[in-house]
Amino acid sequence: MPDEKKLPSCNMDVVPPSDPPLRIMKQGVYVVAYENLSPPCWTSNIRAWTEQYFVSLTYLSYARRLLREIFLLAPGVLIGYICATLWLSISDALILFCLGSIFNFVENGSTGLASQESLNIAIKGGFFCAIFGPACNRFLGYANDIINSRLKAHFLPQLVEASVRVDMYSTQDCYTIFPGTGRGHFPSDIPGASFLQDLYHILRTTVALWSQVAVLMYAVLRKPSPEREVLFLFCISHPLVRWLAPSNVTATQGYIFYTLNVPFKRMRSLYNLAFSSQYREELVLNGAVNDIPSEYQKVAEQLGNEIVTEPVPWASGLCRRWYWDFLVNLTLDLPLVIYALVLPYRLSPSSVLSIALLQQATNKISRSIGEYGMNSTPIKSVCLKAKWLYDAISCESKIPDGSNPYPDPSQGSSDGMTISFRQVSLRYNKCNNNALENVSVDIAAGQLVLVVGTNGSGKSSLLKLIARLCDPTEGEIRIDGNPLSTYNSDNVRASMAFLPQLPLLFPMSVKENICLGLMPLVQPTNKQIQEAAKMGGCTRWISRLQNGYDTQLKPTYDIGNGLNEGTYGVISARLRKELARHEKQTVTISGGEKQRLVAARTFMRINHADIKLIVIDEGMSALDVVTERDILSEFHRLRPGKTMILVTHRFHHLVKEADQIICMKEGSVVELGKHSHLMENNGEYAKLYNAQVPSA
């Protein structure tokens, strides 16, 4: 028996005081924690079942709605699916019935009690079951494919629509409720499919179990007394004990496991280092790659003979008392043993056949009970799956959007966006500290503003607030004199050209990457696209690509090939070559080239949209000095009629031209003014500037 002890009282903040303490135990390098089972278990089983069905009633409407939708998507296939499932569920019971009839004929044939006709029916029935079962299984595979593809075609567009509809804040919440979507595993995620799978299991296991019980009872009740009673007792004892025994499976008895073993954790890390290509280059460069085997050996020795296999407590019967396992096995085998023991005293064909029937029936029912416990999901979970799907589809933004158009048509044209921060504080979700603290800044239309400060001082957060990617926790932001929250956010963002800190390319063509967000409203010509690329300094790189502006860029993660990059199982070199022949050409792209392409995108936007604000958030850190200067000069040239905010760690020529420099530290604005004024102050800004430009 493994060590088992109660959770220490210091963990009471994790476990509410009214709950019984968790059970924790050690198994090898792992610690396993699970809920304390409170005896007697059969009463809690019944209570859990009743509760489950009452809760299910609340969500039943969602399940009904989803089932109706699936039916409307593929009515004929669904009916066939249900029929095939029902047939497969009862086929074991039918075989049992046929077997019983054949035995009955053998036992009573000579007495004339069993007719030849019933024997013929039994034989035909058995034969029919044997050929119809595989046909049903094949049909189920075919029906699954059809239903799944229709589910995908029906629900995925709705989920995509819901996902892009909600704001950044709510997206996080919705992703947790989007069933299986949200992580972009397009080929394998089928909304509604697991709901149908669970229903299939519930239907199949329930019908299978009860049909087998019914057939067994029918066969037993036809026996003469007292054999009937003995057989009956033997038959029900095993299912009864299995049902009463506390479940050892994860469906009802969940557990968590973690490891605190330091050598084991280090061993895992070293193993990852040895096999992950992402670390290899750095390890080689640092001459650390050859240390891995010796370090691995060292921790392996420290670990010694500790068991490292992941814990499977139900397999070793850890979640329930030992006597339940004993009882389960005893009721399965003992009746047969007893029956066999009495055979020498009353040997007859009837007894032998009864043993055979009993053996078949008990095994089948035992297996069905096992499947019932292992595979079937509680009805409540099935209903909840349907609810999640509809919740995800109807997911709404938490931040209410404003209704005023931007720019305000009544105000006529302006020199750019006016921005005013009034005592703004920002605290991100689940953070203890404010990212911005009481920030008050006024930016006039057409100004060139530089935001400087150390890492983490809140520069990017300031920009996120202007784009309304999040809302301030306190204070107010005004755009052109009105609260930002009163404007339609899409309108405000359409008036901004944003060069982000991290250049992100999309799994689309080079052309689409440059024109992102403009089409279909604007249909840029090739000449306009080339012009933007030239301003971003990426024409030479694009001209080297095989398909130029039409070259597809490789996605940041693999969305195309699915499982194992398009392979399954062990494949030959010839197959690998065949796959490579059909794969798209991959494009390698450096950090600086990415930034140039994203700069071209920003220029494209400035050239072809009504831009009031240009924001550059450190978007040129990977560029060489000459390219950075050229790109900045282009931005500067396009500046008239627009406000421009530039976040930077590099103090270039623009510092002297800036109308205002905002110097930030630890979420607060510590200095504000022009370069000369701030240098005279000899404060935080002068310190940063002198550290980089010592000759100044």
Part of the chain binding ligand ATP (CB under 6 A), chosen from 28-36, 71-79, 257-265, 453-461:
453-461
What is d(CA 461, CA 434) in angstroms, rounded to the nearest whole number? 11
Distances in Å between the alpha carbon of 76 and those of 65, 88, 132, 138, 146? 18, 18, 19, 16, 11
Q: In 3-state terms, what secondary structure has residue 33? A: strand
**Candidate segments 172-180, 345-353, 390-398, 428-436, binder of ligand ATP by CB under 6 A:** 428-436
Q: What CA–CA distance (Å, rounded) separates 181 from 160? A: 9
Q: Please identify, using beta-carbon distances, which residue of 515 and 678 lies nearer to ligand ATP.
A: 678
367: exposed, middle or buried (Cβ count in 10 Å: 0-12, 13-18, 19+): middle
**How far apart are CB 631 and ligand ATP at their closest, in Å?**
19
| Residue from the set 181, 461, 602, 643 that interacts with ligand ATP by CB under 6 A | 461
Among residues 456, 517, 555, 591, the one that binds ligand ATP under rule CB under 6 A:
456
* Cis peptide bond prior to 524, omega within 30° of 0: no
CB of 72 to ligand ATP, least distance (A): 42
Nearer to ligand ATP, 400 or 456 (CB): 456
Q: Which is nearer to ligand ATP, 533 or 669 (CB)?
A: 669
User: Is residue 456 left, alpha or beta, with left meaning phi > 0 and alpha meaning psi from -120 to 50?
Assistant: left
Comparing CB distances to ligand ATP, the nearer of 404 and 501 is: 501
Cα(241)–Cα(540) distance, rounded to whole angstroms?
A: 77
Q: Does 254 bind ligand ATP (CB under 6 A)?
A: no
Question: 458 near 667, Cβ under 8 Å?
Answer: yes
Question: What angle do the packed helices 322-342 and 227-244 form, to 10 degrees?
Answer: 170
459 binds ligand ATP (CB under 6 A): yes
> What string marks each residue from 79 to 98 as x (binds ligand ATP by CB under 6 A) or -?
--------------------
Q: By C-beta, is 64 or 649 nearer to ligand ATP?
A: 649
Least separation in angstroms between CB 523 and ligand ATP: 36
Residues 84, 200: Cα–Cα separation, whole Å: 11
> Considering the rule CB under 6 A, would residue 457 count as an interface residue with ligand ATP?
yes
Q: 30-34 and 255-259: which strand pairing?
A: antiparallel
Instruction: Point out which span in 171-179, 243-251, 452-460, 539-547 binds ligand ATP (CB under 6 A).
Output: 452-460
Using CB under 6 A, pick the residue from 14, 131, 341, 431 that binds ligand ATP: 431
What is the torsional sign of CA 624, 626, 632, 635? negative
Task: Say whether residue 434 binds ligand ATP (CB under 6 A).
Answer: no
Q: φ, ψ for residue 669 (rounded to 5)?
A: -85, 115
Q: Of the candidates 95, 230, 419, 435, which one interacts with ligand ATP according to CB under 6 A?
A: 435
Among candidate residues 566, 561, 550, 543, the one with its CA nearest the CA of residue 508: 550
537 exposed, middle or buried (CB, 10 Å; 0-12, 13-18, 19+)? buried
Number of alpha helices (DSSP H) and beta strands (DSSP E) in the chain: 23, 14
Binding-site size for ligand ATP (CB under 6 A) equals 12
Examine residue 405 and tell whether it contacts ligand ATP (CB under 6 A): no
Tokens 């095993």, located at residue? 238
Binding segment toward ligand ATP, per CB under 6 A, in 54-62, 263-271, 456-464, 619-627: 456-464
DSSP for 393-456, please give it: HT---SSPPP-B-SS-GGG---SS--EEEEEEEE--TT-SS-SEEEEEEEE-TT-EEEEEESTT
- Least distance (Å) between residue 647 CB and ligand ATP: 7
Query: Measured between alpha carbons, how far is 125 from 108 in angstroms, rounded to an integer?
Result: 20
Minimum CB–partner distance for residue 580 and ligand ATP (Å):
40
Name the segment binding ligand ATP (CB under 6 A); options: 77-85, 366-374, 410-418, 450-458: 450-458
Cβ at position 501, least distance to ligand ATP in Å: 6
Q: Which residue among 100, 192, 453, 592 contacts ligand ATP (CB under 6 A)?
A: 453
Q: How far is the CB of 430 from ligand ATP (least distance, A)?
A: 7
- Choose between 431 and 573: whose C-beta lies nearer to ligand ATP: 431
Identify the residue among 428, 488, 512, 608 touching ligand ATP (CB under 6 A).
428
Distance CA 120, CA 559 (A): 57
- 97 contact partners, CB below 8 Å, separation of at least 6: 122, 125, 215, 218, 219
CB of 457 to ligand ATP, least distance (A): 4
Angle between helices 349-375 and 193-221 (to 10 degrees): 160
Minimum CB distance to ligand ATP, residue 453 (Å): 6
Nearer to ligand ATP, 223 or 459 (CB): 459
- One-letter amino acid of 594: K
Longest dimension (CA), the chain: 120
**The one among 192, 458, 503, 537 contacting ligand ATP by CB under 6 A:** 458
Q: Binding ligand ATP by CB under 6 A: which of 455, 525, 572, 695?
A: 455
Which contiguous run of DSSP H or E holds residue 88? helix 75-108
Provide the mask over 475-514, with x wherever binding to ligand ATP is found by CB under 6 A and - wherever it is not. Answer: --------------------------x-------------
Query: How many angstroms separate the CA atoms of 410 and 353, rounded?
Result: 95
- Least spacing, CB of residue 491 vs ligand ATP, in Å: 24
Please give the residue ranges that form the binding site for ligand ATP (CB under 6 A).
428, 431, 435, 453, 455-461, 501
